[in-house]
Amino acid sequence: MANDVEENPGPIIYDVVDPTKTICADFSQGNIKKFRQNAGKQCLAMSLTAIIYNYITNANTWDSTVLNSILCAGNNLYSFISNFVNKSYLLLTDVPEMVSVFDGIYCMQYGDPFAGDLFMANTALPYYSIENALNNLFMETHLNYQHCMLTIGSNTVAIFKTCEGTFKVFDSHSRDLYGIPHPFGKCILASVDSIESLVIYFQSTVPPSNETPFEVKGEYRKAKRASETETGKQTRLENAWEYQKTKQALETEDEKQTRLKNAREYRKAKRASETAHEKQTRLENASEYRKAKQASETENVRNYEKRKRGQETGIEKQTIVASANPNKRKRLCASTQILNQQDYLNKFDIEKDGSIHEQSWAKNNINKFSKSIEFFINQCTICQEAWPLNSKPRSPDCYICSRCARDTKSPRKFSHENAMIPSPVPTELQNLTQVEEMLIARALPIMRVYIKPGGQRGYSGHCVNLPQNVKELASSLPRYPKDLSVIIVKVKGKDNSFRDVSMRRKKVHNALLWLVQNNPHYAELEINEDALNCLPENGIPADLMIVETENEIISNDDVMSDLGPPTENPSEDIVYNNSTDMNSFLPVGEQQEQEIEA
């Protein structure tokens, strides 16, 4: 037997490129007559121009005329960038973020580059193999690029990912139909089926050497057509749709099945990585599309569909049901193949079956739990209160809460017409301590009760209620500190009073002045200058009632407020907001329109 049998070299360039699908321009970037001193140096600018033009017209529709115009526009772009950065040979770091080309201004954004050696077999960070770099760009769901620029040595090409999952390679250098360098070649747009084929393509078209460095950078945000008119946009979308329909009409059954399979896998991967907000947006858009479609249907179309269903024979109905049953059975079979919760917990083989959070039943339970605690905050247009709802109302801008909807009186109890919309707390009344509020209040309530958004009641203030015999409102303020119902408890021999009983004379004076000027209940109030002068500038008055004890006192800073039983919505447990509410009741009116009732 002969011992000189060659090993199979594997796929080569002629196996991965179909020359019948390659589009050629009439020249290349090295045409000296056409590009003069720029010839042979514009590949990066031309690749960037090709990416931008792919947003205008899908690369599947390009021909030699389009490639010619891209080369000319790219040459002009090269002249501008080269003069701006003062370089003859451009790098990927020189590409601009704002590009003016094809009568439009486009905003480009780029990802982090991947670099390595073209013939490196495995990734050794920080350097990547060409296959891993392209997989990271085009296949990772969190990146999911559609375009990139690849520089090998000093040559740059553009790569596009099509909606069918295949790839287009734009190369402005002198190439033949297979992408191999040729002295009489032209600029080409080649088609490649997969990333593995892309690796073979580049490794076959670049001669190997000791070092063949590459750098690839993805473009991940769609360019903005700043100057595109609405008519131009509509025309572009119509042309793209017509091309898509024509292409699908000519495809074979195998091509159709491949396209549908790729589309299903793409949708599945995209939905698996989407956030809850993105999912909600997608479902809302789908719902709006269905509603718009139903609204645009004419009566004749609906009647036609009804007549068509009514004229179906029994055999036709059975055929429709039979075609739907296989998909249903397929889904059921797929669900039965997955380990149920009890079997998984009994077996509990993480290496074989994966972690708990990866199981379908666990994901389903997590999704159910997340959905059960989700709610939408909507503000009632009548009472201005925010209410948590399990579902989004049809008209959020016109939402009316159930309480106001049940109110049939005119004006409604909690409406603006009934002077029930409180104004923001003015600056003079913000950040008052409890004792300062007691000094300027005409009546001294012990606590106040809130109706929380979920319907429960919360309270703030003191925890012990003592009866008070309030016969009339105070006519002279501020009160003397000794008249306040405040008892300071302190440890014997220690000066450990708390900030809640501190007083600021200027703060109290400013608050009283504002109330007298703006609140009708304080209009005839007399400001007691003697009592005001008895207050400290910033401290604790000496004539407050003090009780000394031997026990340690727990500071209020270390004690959490009693907010009542917990609710499903954490924000409901917040009784009041210090920036907008006060610790006790003070009748406050709007500056422009005074309230009639406190």
Other CB atoms within 10 A of residue 571 CB: 13
Angle between helices 195-205 and 130-138 (to 10 degrees): 140
Q: What is the pTM of this model?
A: 0.40
* All residues at 6 or more sequence positions from 120 whose CB lies less than 8 Å from its CB, including other chains: 127, 128, 129, 130
Helix (H, G, I), strand (E, B) or coil at 186: strand
Return the structure tokens found at 245.
């329909």
Cα 512–505–498 angle (5° rounding)? 115
Cα–Cα dist 132/184, whole Å: 33
Q: What's the pLDDT at 593? A: 38
* Residue 575 DSSP label: -
- The strand pairing partners of 451, in sequence order, are 457
Residue 581 neighbours by CB under 8 Å, 6+ apart: 425
H-helix or E-strand spanning residue 287: helix 276-296
Read off the tokens for 452. Answer: 């929380």
| DSSP for residue 358 | G
Burial label for 345, CB within 10 Å (0-12, 13-18, 19+), is exposed
Asked whether the bond before 208 is cis by omega within 30 degrees of 0, the reply is no
Q: What are the pLDDT tens digits along the chain (598 aa)? A: 445 444 555 567 888 888 888 999 999 998 888 888 888 888 999 999 998 888 888 888 888 999 999 999 899 888 888 888 888 888 888 888 778 787 777 778 788 888 888 888 888 888 888 888 888 888 775 667 788 999 998 889 999 988 888 899 999 999 998 888 888 889 999 999 888 888 989 888 887 777 888 898 888 655 455 455 667 667 767 776 776 777 778 878 888 888 888 778 777 877 777 777 888 888 888 888 888 777 777 777 777 777 777 777 777 777 777 776 666 665 555 444 455 666 666 666 666 667 777 777 778 888 888 877 777 888 898 998 888 887 778 787 888 888 899 998 888 988 988 888 877 888 888 888 888 888 888 877 656 565 665 556 666 655 555 566 665 678 888 888 877 777 777 766 666 556 667 888 899 899 999 999 988 888 888 888 888 888 888 888 777 777 776 665 555 555 454 444 455 555 444 444 444 444 443 333 333 333 334 3
Name the DSSP letter for residue 124: B
Is residue 460 within 8 Å of 576, Cβ to Cβ? yes
The two three-digit tokens of residue 216, written as one number: 């690839």
Q: Which among 97, 81, 99 is positioned nearest to 89, based on CA atoms?
A: 81
Distance CA 509, CA 533 (A): 10
**Angle at CA 121, nearest 5°, toward 117 and 126?**
55
Sign of the CA dihedral running 451, 452, 457, 460: negative
Task: Tell me how far apart the alpha carbons of residues 41 and 29 are, in angstroms, rounded to a whole number.
Answer: 8
Element (H, E) at 510: helix 505-518
State the Cα–Cα distance between residues 519 and 329, nearest whole angstrom: 73
In Å, how far are 137, 186, 338 from 45, measured between CA atoms? 21, 17, 51
Question: What gap in Å lies between CA 371 and CA 390, rounded to an integer?
Answer: 9
The domains found in the chain, sorted by start residue, are 13-221 (3.90.70.120), 360-423 (no CATH), 434-452+472-549 (no CATH)
Distance CA 411, CA 431 (A): 34
Q: What is the 3-state secondary structure (H, E, C) of 417-439?
A: CCCCCCCCCCHHHCCCCHHHHHH
Q: Identify the pLDDT of residue 71.
A: 92
Rounded CA gap, 435 and 444, in Å?
10
Provide the pLDDT for residue 335. 46
pLDDT score recorded for residue 186: 92
Asked if 512 contacts 527 with a C-beta cutoff of 8 angstroms, the reply is yes
User: Cα angle vertex 201, ends 263, 248, to 5°?
Assistant: 30
Tokens of 121: 């077999």
86: left (phi over 0), alpha (psi -120 to 50) or beta: left
Burial 426-461 (b: 16+ CB within 10 A, else e): bebbeebbbbbbbbbbbebeeebeeebbeeeebbbb
- Nearest-5° angle of CA 98, CA 102, CA 104? 50
Which residues, at least 6 apart from 359, have a Cβ–Cβ distance to it below 8 Å? Answer: 338, 339, 341, 344, 353
Both tokens assigned to 267: 């949708």
